[in-house]
Amino acid sequence: FYLRIPAPSLQVFMIVGGGIAGVTCVEQLSSQIPSADIALITAGSHIKAVTNYKQVSKTLEEFDVEERPSSVLEARFPNLTVIHPAVKSLNTQSHTVETADGRVFGYEKLCICSGGRPKLLTQDNPYVLGIRDTDSAQAFQKQLSKAKRIVIVGNGGIALELVYEVEGCEVIWAVKDKAIGNTFFDAGAAQFLIPSLEADKPERAAPCRRPRYTTEEPAAGSGSALGPDWHEGIVLRGAETGFVARTHPLTVPFLFPFHALNFSSLPVGTWPVYILLTNGKTFGCDFVVSATGVVPNTEPFLHGNNFALADDAGLQVDDHMMTSEPDVYAAGDVCTACWEHSPLWQQMRLWTQARQMGWYAGRCMAAHVLSEPIELDFCFELFSHITKFFNYKVVLLGKFNAQGLGPNHELLVRCTKGQEYVKVVLSGGKMVGAVLIGETDLEETFENLMLNQMDLTQYGEELLNPNIDIEDYFD
Ligand code: FAD
């Protein structure tokens, strides 16, 4: 009599997560080692694909994102198997993962790309929403269509987009910092952008090429994070027709720490929920949007293992995207870059970095299997990000907000109301960061000046003189 234990099926490479980091990792591995067996385990039925990728300059990149059925990826890569449902647990000693339906899979090299989930002001409150994926964006839209007033809490990219996009509903924006958008901007840039909130929005010139984040069959379970233009095609309109009002308690800090929020002790009135701010003011509203960042999705992987976690609860990774557990890599929102950063780079949980980390993790995994040397990729030399806020093109480079520079820096600013805002951060006479809002056409020149660390002391304020063609100047 033999007890037959099914041997876990062994896949050489296993990637967890069908967001941009995971999918890019799969693509990279497949191109590095076309014969490799690769398994992608992901919670939802759809994956995220990068399309129309464009390298704008040495470090700046632009791309669109499409949500596609995972079968599309399998059709592209014959050695790829996509596995559902989600990973329930990981055993790094036996090199196995178990999925929610009880199946066990073995791996030689594993890359965790499980993303993050919204940090909520309070858990399990039906009036507090986070926006992360297609499902939660649709839930938000549904609630908004019946709402007369909402409160948006937070000051990052999502909050900025929401306050601009939501119409037909009064919006109270609770910001703990002194200026709006402080994740991306300083007070000057915020000042430049504020008039856009009051102004009429321009008609959209052409239908957006990017995906509409509505799928015919919404992916079940924890989906991928949304990306640029997530609100395109989703009507963000409240119950009030023809009425737009925004209240900006901009200089008012909201209740901090978050967990001290006490919804139940607030007055019972006509609104379904009330929020108390640290300035003592109470606002009633239909619901609260909690847009205060993400928490890395690490839970299924931690139990029984010994992962080193960073202060922000991400899986620590080294300059080869390796976690502290053998043969386990991580990339994207779930990880925290713990190598010694280039002086001009910082991690931000953004779309572009998810792609870059997934790509580099795939290269590292292949290099390790093939015993080839590999060096930290060039994209981690200089932080760069292109996005749109309030319909302005926004380019952020290097230490764009003088992050970590202390008092030892100088700022040069050029601003034309309604047109452009240019800020340069100089340290020791060298350019270390820039914020470019509007069609400035300065990104490539500034990127070069940052990468080559030229001493700019002699140019002084001339650097931003609009009558000088700066490109010719440094050619
Ligand atoms: P995700 O895209 O979150 O993917 C994680 C994947 O892991 C998903 O497929 C999920 O199903 C899967 N998964 C999770 N747990 C498990 C498990 N246990 N087992 C199996 N699979 C699992 N960034 C920008 O650069 N520009 C923007 O304009 C921008 N706008 C945004 C707007 C919104 C509303 C949000 C929420 C984010 C936005 N971001 C933006 C951030 C950007 O979306 C993320 O940084 C990026 O998507 C992270 O990619 P990722 O692959 O690491 O994770």
> What count of other Cβ atoms lies within 10 Å of the Cβ of residue 244?
17
159 with 280, same domain: the answer is yes
Cβ of 189 below 6 Å from ligand 1: no
Cβ of 298 below 6 Å from ligand 1: no
pLDDT confidence of residue 31:
94
> What count of other Cβ atoms lies within 10 Å of the Cβ of residue 163?
23
Indicate the average pLDDT of the chain: 84
pLDDT confidence of residue 460:
85
55 with 150, same domain: the answer is no
226 with 271, same domain: the answer is yes
Number of domains in the chain: 3
Closest-lying ligand 1 atom to the alpha carbon of residue 351: 25
For residue 229, how far is its CA from the centre of ligand 1 (angstroms)? 14
410 with 469, same domain: the answer is yes
Lowest-pLDDT choice from 19-23, 34-38, 258-262, 467-471: 258-262
pLDDT confidence of residue 187:
82
Structural domain contains residue 90: yes
- Which of the listed residues 276, 292, 308 is the one where a domain comes to its end? 292
42 with 144, same domain: the answer is no
Choosing from 113, 161, 290 the residue with most ligand 1 atoms within 8 A of its CB, the one to mutate for a pocket test is 113
Whether cis (ω within 30° of 0) applies to the bond prior to 257 is: yes
Lowest-pLDDT choice from 45-59, 81-95, 104-118, 168-182: 168-182
Under the banding of pLDDT at 50, 70 and 90, the label for residue 455 is very high
Cβ of 17 below 6 Å from ligand 1: yes
State the Cα–Cα distance between residues 82 and 377, nearest whole angstrom. Answer: 28
pLDDT confidence of residue 72:
93
Provide the 3-class DSSP secondary structure of residue 344.
strand
76 with 204, same domain: the answer is no
State the Cα–Cα distance between residues 336 and 287, nearest whole angstrom. Answer: 32
Under the banding of pLDDT at 50, 70 and 90, the label for residue 210 is very low
Over residues 264-318, the pLDDT tens digits come to 455 566 899 888 888 888 888 999 999 888 999 999 999 999 999 999 999 999 9
Nearest to 294 by CA among 158, 195, 474, 429: 158
Helix (H) or strand (E) holding 14: strand 9-16
- Which of the listed residues 335, 352, 380 is the one where a domain comes to its end? 380
48 with 147, same domain: the answer is no
Structural domain contains residue 199: yes
- Give the domain range for residue 426: 391-473
pLDDT confidence of residue 242:
36
Structural domain contains residue 3: no
Cβ of 296 below 6 Å from ligand 1: no
179 with 253, same domain: the answer is yes
Q: What is the pTM of this model?
A: 0.87
DSSP string, 42-75: -SSSEEEEEEEEEE-SSS-EEEEEEEEEHHHHHH
396 with 469, same domain: the answer is yes
For residue 212, how far is its CA from the centre of ligand 1 (angstroms)? 16
Q: Which of 56-65, 91-100, 208-217, 466-475 has the highest mean pLDDT?
A: 91-100
CA geometry: angle 438, 231, 124, nearest 5 deg:
125
State the Cα–Cα distance between residues 422 and 435, nearest whole angstrom. Answer: 6
pLDDT confidence of residue 197:
77
Structural domain contains residue 51: yes
pLDDT confidence of residue 247:
38
Q: Residue 467, CB half-sphere, CA atoms under 13 Å: how many?
A: 0
Over residues 159-170, the pLDDT tens digits come to 888 888 888 888
Only one residue has tokens 């840039």, namely 189
Over residues 232-276, the pLDDT tens digits come to 656 677 776 433 333 333 333 333 333 334 444 555 668 998 888
- Which of the listed residues 271, 292, 313 is the one where a domain comes to its end? 292
Cβ of 158 below 6 Å from ligand 1: yes
Residue 107 pLDDT greater than 80, yes or no: yes
* Phi, psi (degrees; rounded to nearest 5) at 205: -65, -45
High-pLDDT (> 70) share of the chain, %: 84
Structural domain contains residue 376: yes
- For the segment 440-452, the average pLDDT, to the nearest whole number, is 95
Structural domain contains residue 1: no
Residue 209 pLDDT greater than 50, yes or no: no
299 with 224, same domain: the answer is no
Structural domain contains residue 136: yes
93 with 148, same domain: the answer is no
Cβ of 166 below 6 Å from ligand 1: no
Residue 230 pLDDT greater than 80, yes or no: no
pLDDT confidence of residue 267:
57
pLDDT confidence of residue 282:
85
370 with 408, same domain: the answer is no
Choosing from 114, 183, 303, 379 the residue with most ligand 1 atoms within 8 A of its CB, the one to mutate for a pocket test is 114
CATH number at residue 453: 3.30.390.30
For residue 59, how far is its CA from the centre of ligand 1 (angstroms)? 21
Over residues 357-406, the pLDDT tens digits come to 999 999 999 999 999 999 999 999 999 999 988 889 999 999 999 999 88
Structural domain contains residue 198: yes
For residue 293, how far is its CA from the centre of ligand 1 (angstroms)? 12
Helices (H), 199-265: none
pLDDT confidence of residue 228:
59
Q: Has the ipTM of the complex gone over 0.90? A: yes
CATH number at residue 137: 3.50.50.60
Lowest-pLDDT choice from 93-97, 102-106, 460-464: 460-464
Residue 214 pLDDT greater than 50, yes or no: no
